[in-house]
Amino acid sequence: MKRSLVTTLIIGFSVSGIVSVLHASGLIARLELAVTGLFSNYASATRVIGERWQPGIVLPLSLGVAWLTLSSVPRRRIRLLVLFLLIELLGLSWVCSLYRIFFQPLPSILVVVITWLVAEGWIVFLRRDRAHLSRTFFTDRLSNKELRRLLEGAISFDLQPRGHEVSVIVCDVANKHSLAEDSGPTVFAETTEKFIRNVADRLLEGGGYIQAADGEGVVAIFGFPDGNAEHADKAVHVALDLDRHYRECRQNNGEIPGNCDTHVGVSSGTIIIAPVKAGKRPALLASGEPIEQARRFCAANRLYGSHILIGTRTFDLASNGIVARPIDFLMETDSQDRHEIYEPLWLASEAKPEHIARRDSFWNGIVLYREKRWAEAYTAFQKARGSDDEDDAPLQFYLRRLEPLALNLTEMSSD
């Protein structure tokens, strides 16, 4: 807004000043008489809008046209408005002549046309510069659809370092360590490359910005650069779709890169994004706690046997659209702070009543477990069981923890 105002003032005062000088010096006098003669007769006029009024007319016109052209109004609509304004200026000169008032429209016409051309030229210059910067920073990191929106100006992007409210997805190979041990370096590298390419493509299709895609996994940011307020919902939905895709591939014996499985971590919050020029190609630096937490959540899946883990902030933002259950607390490595993690299970629109009932039983079991009411927690977790062929690793994790405790309580009560 500030830059548009400054540019508007510069263009408006410059163009109106040039046209006023041309008019006052008489350099365009012949052209003025020729244009005016088509609509009014100077000799028959009893009143004349004098020279002192011309700057007061052309300056507001120039500022208004510059501001309108530099705004986000569609270009076609602006061209129509400029055309209507020119017609109105000629019509005003004709109406004034009916009342024997002489109004010289050419300075106003010139200021409208020149201002519009200068503002359009400025936009073309900015778009060319913006297109170069956008391709530099976002090629292969945004989908073609999102990159096109960025180039067209539908997505605003400021190169100044600043904070962004986003959701970060980190996705890695679930069985990476065993895969590295069981296969040779060549096979491991090929498998990891296929996995990274497949996951990155799916995150791009989901609207994410690929911040990194290497041997440590794929990092995608949702809510940047589009500033979408629904970034958490979008990120969790994409994570669930990704997990469903790999699950269906396993069930249908589809082509899975190296028989890989996925671990996903999602965290929401503020990250700092700034341009850096450390190498030959400029890049964007992204740093913040959500990226680190998403990596930790992704790695924590190995402990609980889950596939997706999200943080509290993500759960709060996306809870209306998903069915999720609490899993545990993760301690900070350098403080006593704890982060509660949740496992999203289904989209709310797809969840059946029995799914909700099992989720509620599991949630009740977690509450009782934290209160150290072992026997009641064990009973609640038993109610959360699904079918025999369903592999619910987090549920089995807690049942294994509780079995010796519940057995010990049973023996103590029998004694």
pLDDT band for position 2 (50/70/90)? very low
pLDDT band for position 54 (50/70/90)? low
Q: How far apart are CA 322 and CA 240, in angstroms?
A: 10
Report pLDDT digits (tens) over 306-321.
999 999 999 999 999 9
Task: Tell me the pTM.
Answer: 0.70
Q: Which range scores top for mean pLDDT: 100-109, 365-374, 404-413?
A: 365-374
| Half-sphere exposure (Cβ direction) of 212: Cα atoms closer than 13 Å | 15
Average pLDDT over residues 46-64: 70
Residue 350 has pLDDT above 70, yes or no: yes
pLDDT band for position 46 (50/70/90)? low
Neighbours of 336 (CB within 10 A): 6
Q: Which range scores top for mean pLDDT: 241-250, 318-327, 406-415?
A: 318-327
Quick one: which H or E segment has residue 149? Answer: helix 144-152
Tell me if residue 410 falls in helix, strand or coil.
Answer: helix
Which residues have C-beta within 8 Å of that of residue 144, sequence separation ≥ 6? none
Closest among 244, 275, 277 to 261, alpha carbons compared: 244
Q: How far apart are CA 407 and CA 413, in angstroms?
A: 10
Concatenated DSSP letters for 183-225?
S-HHHHHHHHHHHHHHHHHHHHHTT-EEEEEETTEEEEEESTT
Conformation bin of residue 288: beta by default, left when phi > 0, alpha when psi is -120 to 50? left
Average pLDDT over residues 19-24: 76
Report pLDDT digits (tens) over 160-214.
888 999 999 999 988 777 777 777 788 888 888 888 999 999 999 999 999 999 8
Q: How far apart are CA 172 and CA 169, in angstroms?
A: 10
CATH 3.30.70.1230 fits 159-351, yes or no: yes
Q: Does 303 or 158 have the greater pLDDT score?
A: 303
Residue with tokens 């596939």: 307
Report pLDDT digits (tens) over 139-172.
889 988 888 888 777 777 777 888 999 999 999 9
**pLDDT at position 415:** 47
Q: Does 232 or 55 have the greater pLDDT score?
A: 232
**pLDDT at position 13:** 85
Fill in the DSSP letter of residue 327: E
Residue with tokens 């050419």: 106
Average pLDDT over residues 71-79: 76
Average pLDDT over residues 56-70: 83
DSSP lists the bridge partners of residue 323 as: 346
Q: Where in the chain is the domain with CATH 3.30.70.1230?
A: 159-351
Q: How far apart are CA 414 and CA 375, in angstroms?
A: 14
Residue 31 has pLDDT above 90, yes or no: no
DSSP lists the bridge partners of residue 328 as: 341
Residue with tokens 């350099």: 27
**Burial of 92: CB neighbours in 10 Å, binned 0-12, 13-18, 19+:** middle
Question: Across all residues in the chain, what is the average pLDDT?
Answer: 82
264 close to 242: Cβ distance less than 8 angstroms: yes
Q: Does 51 or 346 have the greater pLDDT score?
A: 346
Report pLDDT digits (tens) over 213-237.
988 899 999 999 988 899 999 999 9
